[in-house]
Amino acid sequence: MVDPYRLVAVSYLNTKPLLYGLLRNPISDRLRMDLAIPSECARRLVDGEADIALVPVAVLPELPRYQIISDYCIGADGAVATVCLYGEVPLEQMTHIYLDHHSRTSVMLTRLLLEEYWQHEVEFMDARDGYIDHINGTIGGLVIGDRTIGLDRRFPYVYDLGAAWKDHTGLPFVFAAWVTTRRLPASFITEFNGALREGLEHLPQLQLLLPSPTPEFDLTTYFTHHIDYALDERKRKALDRFLAYVSSTDPVGLVPLAGGR
């Protein structure tokens, strides 16, 4: 019997429709699945501890050989809602920004936007657990994933990175993609994509099974208006644009992150 492929995926809410498709499909019998924060997904793929991973795309330049195996991703065409800069003062008054250690993609996107779009210089600080409680005064913070839910009511200034990227480039953005460093059979990749598509087609049912994190957070709006799952040509163009910046700015993954990649 062939050993199952080791798969690790991002543990955030936005991944649940894709996981739902994999888990309800017979392909799950050929997968050994695990969940982790984005930086840990990236580490496992880079270190050879995973065969397939849903990884933050900023890790791709670190891989000597890789293949994006899916037509689906974690993306956004405008506001993403769960990748934002927060602060008590407007961005132009911020002097320091904590960088969320969960994903270097969002860190690099923050750097790009501050450099090219907002054209505002700050001192970056590597975030540790509990750093959100230290966002105050002129210190802002990048927060990603499920931890952002409800923060728009806590902080008066919120800057959505998906919306800022769209304003800056006119393009959507790819936060994470399904990647392998192995040679996988074409038939398996086709079946894998079919399972992901099946999950997205069952969004109405999934939304009945998933509790909303807070009463104010609308799952339907999030899944259908903020997260854009199709890895289409415009997203691939955006990915090329972003990876060119990553490769020129952080060619060997030097951006410091407490949690890894």
Query: pLDDT band at 249, cuts 50/70/90?
Result: confident
The pLDDT value given to residue 1: 55
Eight-class DSSP state of 180: E
CATH of region 83-169: 3.40.190.10
5-75+172-249 and 83-169 share one fold: yes
Closest CA to 202 of 179, 229, 235: 229
Residue 77 pLDDT class (50, 70, 90 cuts): very high
- 122-174 pLDDT, tens per residue? 999 989 889 999 999 999 999 999 999 999 999 999 999 999 999 999 999 99
5-75+172-249: which CATH topology?
Answer: D-Maltodextrin-Binding Protein; domain 2 (3.40.190)
Q: Where are the domains of the chain?
A: 5-75+172-249, 83-169
Q: Work out the burial of residue 147: count CB atoms within 10 Å of its CB; fewer than 13 is exposed, 13-18 middle, 19 or more buried.
A: middle
Question: Would you say residue 188 has pLDDT above 80?
Answer: yes
Cβ neighbours of 87 (radius 10 Å): 22
Q: How high is the pLDDT of residue 212?
A: 79
Alpha-carbon distance of 90 to 210, in angstroms, equals 35
Contacts (Cβ under 8 Å, ≥6 apart) of 147 = 132
Q: What are phi and psi of 36, to 5 degrees?
A: -160, 170
DSSP assigned state of 172: -
Helix axes 16-23, 186-201, angle to 10 degrees: 120
Intra-chain end-to-end CA distance of the chain, in Å:
34
pTM given for the model: 0.92
CA dist., res. 52 & res. 49, Å (int): 9
Q: Among all chains, which residue has been given the structure tokens 């099946």?
A: 198
Assigned token pair, 167: 């304003």
